[in-house]
Amino acid sequence: MRAASRSRIAIIGGGIAGVSTAYELSRNGHADFVLYEASARLGGIVETVHQDGFVIECGPDSWVTEKPWARDLALELGLEAEILASNDAIRRTYLLLNGELTPMPDSMRMMVPTDLEDIERSPLFSEAAKQAYRLEALRAAEFKASAAARPSLEDESVACFVERHFGSEVTEKVAGPLLSGVFGGDIRQLSASAVMAPFVKMEQEYGSLVVALQKQRSQKRQSSAVFTTLKSGLQTLVERMTAVIPPSNLRLSEPVSEMNWSRGEWEVATRSGLACFDRVVLATPVHISRRLVARWNSELGSLLDIEATSAVVVAFAFSPELASSVQTPKGFGFLVPQSQNELIGQEPELLAATFVDQKFSHRVPEGGMLIRAFYGGESAPKLLDEDDSSILKLSHRRLSHILGELPEPSIALVRRWPRSLPQYTIGHRRRVGRIEEISREIPGFYLVGNAFHGVGLPDLVRQGRALANSLLAS
C-alpha cells in the first residue's frame, strides 16, 4: 500500500523534543510534515492537572533558569506574564540522614560551597569532610595539572571526579543525592563530562572548584532564582506550541511500528498504513528509537542501547483545612541518599520529595499544601506494576514517617514514567559522537531527544528548534 499524498518530513514522537521541532517548522511556514504520537496527547512527560485551585505537575515542575531556551520560547509565545521564578528567598534543600531532615548549607551549588564558612557551621559534615573542603582550594595547581594531562575524550565517573576533589563523605552524602535529583542514577556509573560539564571545565580552568565558584561569584553578581516555571503549569508551553501547528499535521494515538529506507524514500508504517517521506526525525524515547533503527542498522541499534531509569511521581494535595495539621520544614524539599535505602530493606525507597507550595507561588489555594514524592533508580521498577492505591498507601506511610503523621489528602495522584530518564554513563559523549557520525551517513535521518545532549526542558526545546532550522536550511 502506498499513500497517495507525499509529505516531506515525518516527526516521530510528540514529547517536548518532537513538538518543539514541529512548532519551529510551522512557525517558519513549513507545513509539509506529519507528527506521529503513540499516545492520545502531546507533551510526553509534561502534564499539568488543575483541580480545586491546585496546579499539580505530573512530570517536571520547572526548568533550570540558567538555561535560557525554555524562557525564550515562553516569551516568544506571549507567556511573559506567566513566567514564575522559584521562591529562592526560602530555597533550602534537606538530606534525609538517619531519619532526620538535615539542611544542606545554603550557599552550595551542587556539592561545591560558594562560602566555606557555611560548611564550617553545618551539622551535615564530619571534621574530616570539612577539612577536605578547606584543602580543595589549596590543591588548585595539582588539579589543574592533572586535568591538563588528561586526553580530552577520557572520561571518569561523577563519583571519581567528586571524590578526587572532596573525598568520599561529600561524594556519598551530597553528590549522590543531588545528582539523583537530576539524573536519577548511580554516580559510580554516570559520566562526569556528560552530566557535570561546567564543573569539569572549572577544573581545567581553575583546578579548584571552590576557587572557581568564588571567582565566578565575584564576576557576575546575579542572583536569579534556580528554577523557573509557568503560573498555569508547564503544559501551557506545550499547548501554546501545539496551537501553532496545523491540526491536520498531527497523528495522535498513532504509534509507528516500522520505518524503512526504500527506493530513495522513508516508509513509515502505522496502523493506518504506509506513508512516505524524504526525511524522518526520530524524537521517541531512546528504547523506541533503538527498536525502530535496529532492524536496518545494527551498529546504530547497539549504540542506542542506552539505559533509562523509570520514575514514579506521587502528589498529595491538602486543602487549607487539612494543611493546618501538616508540618513541613522551610524549604523546597529533600533528597534521600542511596545509602539510606539499605536501612529500609524491602520497601521501595523514596528518591526525593518537593514541598511545592513553598518552592512556587500560585500552586495551591491560600493556605493549602502540596507535596510531590519521587521514586526512581532501583525503586521505580518495583512500583510500575503496582496499582495506584498501594503506591499511595506506601508513599503516605513513608512521608508520614519522615514529616510526622499526615492527614488523608484532598487530592492524590500517581504517574508512572517508565524508562523516561536516560543514563549518561562513562564514555557518553564519545558514544553520542559515534551515533551522530553514523546518523549523518544515513540519508534524511535525524535523531533528537533526551538521550543525547541534556535531559531537561530547555535542552530539548533548544535541540528540537535547532533541528527544525537545519531541516529548513537544507
Ligand X SMILES: Cc1c2[nH]c(c1CCC(=O)O)Cc1[nH]c(c(CCC(=O)O)c1C)Cc1[nH]c(c(CCC(=O)O)c1C)Cc1[nH]c(c(C)c1CCC(=O)O)C2
Question: Which one of residues 194, 210, 335, 392 is an interface residue with ligand X (CB under 6 A)?
Answer: 335
> Which of the ranges 11-19, 231-239, 348-356, 424-432 carries the binding residues for ligand X, by CB under 6 A?
348-356
Choice between 113 and 184, CB closer to ligand X:
184
454 binds ligand X (CB under 6 A): yes
> Binding mask 16-55 vs ligand X (x if CB under 6 A, - otherwise)?
----------------------------------------
Q: Which is nearer to ligand X, 198 or 443 (CB)?
A: 198
Confirm or reject binding of residue 129 to ligand X (CB under 6 A).
no
Q: Which is nearer to ligand X, 18 or 422 (CB)?
A: 422
The yes or no reply on residue 374 touching ligand X (CB under 6 A) is yes
**Selected range binding ligand X among 49-57, 122-130, 250-258, 332-340, rule: CB under 6 A:** 332-340
Of residues 159 and 311, the one with the C-beta less far from ligand X? 311
375-404: contacts with ligand X (CB under 6 A): 376
3-state secondary structure the chain: CCCCCCCCEEEECCCHHHHHHHHHHHHCCCCCEEEECCCCCCCCCCCEEEECCEEEECCCCCEECCCCHHHHHHHHCCCHHHEEECCHHHCCEEEEECCEEEECCCCEECCEECCHHHHHHCCCCCHHHHHHHHHHHHCHHHHHHHHHHCCCCCCCEHHHHHHHHHHHHHHHHHHHHHHHHHHCCCCCCEEHHHHCHHHHHHHHHHCCHHHHHHHHHHHCCCCCCCEEEECCCCHHHHHHHHHHCCHHHEECCCCCCEEEEECCEEEEEECCEEEEECEEEECCCHHHHHHHHHCCCHHHHHHCCCCEEEEEEEEEEECHHHHCCCCCCCCCEEECCHHHHHHHCCCCCCCEEEEHHHHCCCCCCCCCEEEEEEECCCHHHHHHCCCHHHHHHHHHHHHHHHHCCCCCCCEEEEEEEEEEEECCECCHHHHHHHHHHHHHHCCCEEECCCCCCCCCHHHHHHHHHHHHHHHHHC
By CB under 6 A, residue 226 contacts ligand X: yes
Closer of 328 and 354 to ligand X (Cβ): 354
Residue selected from 233, 285, 333, 449 as contacting ligand X according to rule CB under 6 A? 333
Taking the least distance from each CB to ligand X, the nearer of 279 and 428 is 428
What is the contact mask toward ligand X in residues 403 to 442, using x (rule: CB under 6 A)? ------------------x---------------------
Q: Which is nearer to ligand X, 13 or 458 (CB)?
A: 458
The site string for ligand X over 77-116 (x = CB under 6 A, - otherwise) reads: ----------------x----------------x------
By beta carbon distance, the residue nearest ligand X is 456
- Residues within the interface to ligand X (CB under 6 A): 64, 67, 93, 110, 178, 181-182, 184, 226, 309, 311, 332-333, 335, 351-354, 359, 374, 376, 421, 454-456, 458
